Amino acid sequence: MKRRQKRTLIFLAITLPVCVGGIAGWSYLWQRPCTEVEMIGVEYTDSASMYQLIDSIFNPQLVVDRLQRHPWVQGVRAICYPTGTLQVEILERQPRLLTIAENGRPAYYLDTFGYMMPAYTQAAFDVPLLRGDTSPYRALSSITDPAVRNLLALLPRLPVRIDSLISEFEVTGNGLTMIMRAASIDQATVVHLGDTAWEKKLYRLYNFWEQQVRPHKDRTFEVIDLRFRGQIITKENPI
């Protein structure tokens, strides 16, 4: 019995200092201040503008707070690793529409949630244009027009075959009267969708386009009107 107790005491005398030392060492490493930044997840935003926001700050919480002020940042996570590297993971906003100002120049992008992002980036995006009476640009603000927000929520749900027909939309004084230009190689057709049931009408448009437009190279439409329930009113271009 005494031998067993003696062996236990010897084992504890050896292992306890090792465990305590290991815990202390590991704690020291995780408390070690970071001295460099590694940023990942940045694909099309100017990373220099993000580093300017950080401005030699290595505190993870402060870095997150600073980067959330960037208009192209949807989410951010920062972790200070024992190696001394602060890893910053960026989730960028995905543009869905590009608003066009009255002078015809790009004004700003809108993401799915209606947030505004500067129009000029180091990347170009193949997204529909939005013309008409839109709000002025305000950094870190979301657009309030409910019709535009509904449109932004709809666009990600559309399949590629329908999305490929869309070129632009237009806002009018009566809200969002969606005037879509379904562009092919040599024609653009204005499509009136009204202010309700846009998704169903877009599917009807696609079926009509595949049956009545695409197979007939000599038949072109100037206007397709889907505002009336159960009807498709068209105006053909004269041959």
DSSP state of 41: S
Q: What percent of the chain has pLDDT over 70?
A: 81
Q: Is the pLDDT of residue 193 over 80?
A: yes
- Report the chain's C-alpha Rg in angstroms: 29
DSSP state of 204: H
Q: What is the pLDDT of residues 8-42, one digit of tens each?
A: 555 445 555 544 444 444 444 445 688 889 999 99
Q: What is the average pLDDT value for the chain, to the nearest integer?
A: 82
Question: Does the structural domain 158-239 have CATH classification 3.40.50.11690?
Answer: yes
Q: Give the number of other CB atoms < 10 A from CB of residue 231.
A: 8
pLDDT of residue 181: 66
Q: What is the CATH number of domain 34-92?
A: 3.10.20.310
The token duo for 84 is 């001394």
The token duo for 151 is 């449109």
For residue 221, what are the contacts with CB-CB under 8 A and spacing of at least 6? 187, 189, 213, 234, 235, 236, 237
Give the chain's length: 239
Q: Is the pLDDT of residue 98 over 80?
A: yes
- Identify which of 189, 186, 187, 185 has the alpha carbon closest to the alpha carbon of residue 205: 189
Q: What is the mean pLDDT of residues 89-111?
A: 94
* Terminal CA-CA length for the chain: 109
Write down the pTM of the prediction: 0.80
pLDDT of residue 227: 87
Phi/psi at 184 (nearest 5 deg)? -110, -165
* SS3 state at 48: helix
pLDDT of residue 110: 96
Q: Is the pLDDT of residue 127 over 60?
A: yes
Matching fold, domains 34-92 and 158-239 = no
Segments making up each domain of the chain, as ranges: 34-92, 94-144, 158-239
Strand ranges of the sheet holding 95-100, from the earlier edge strand across to the other edge = 116-118, 106-111, 95-100, 129-132, 168-171
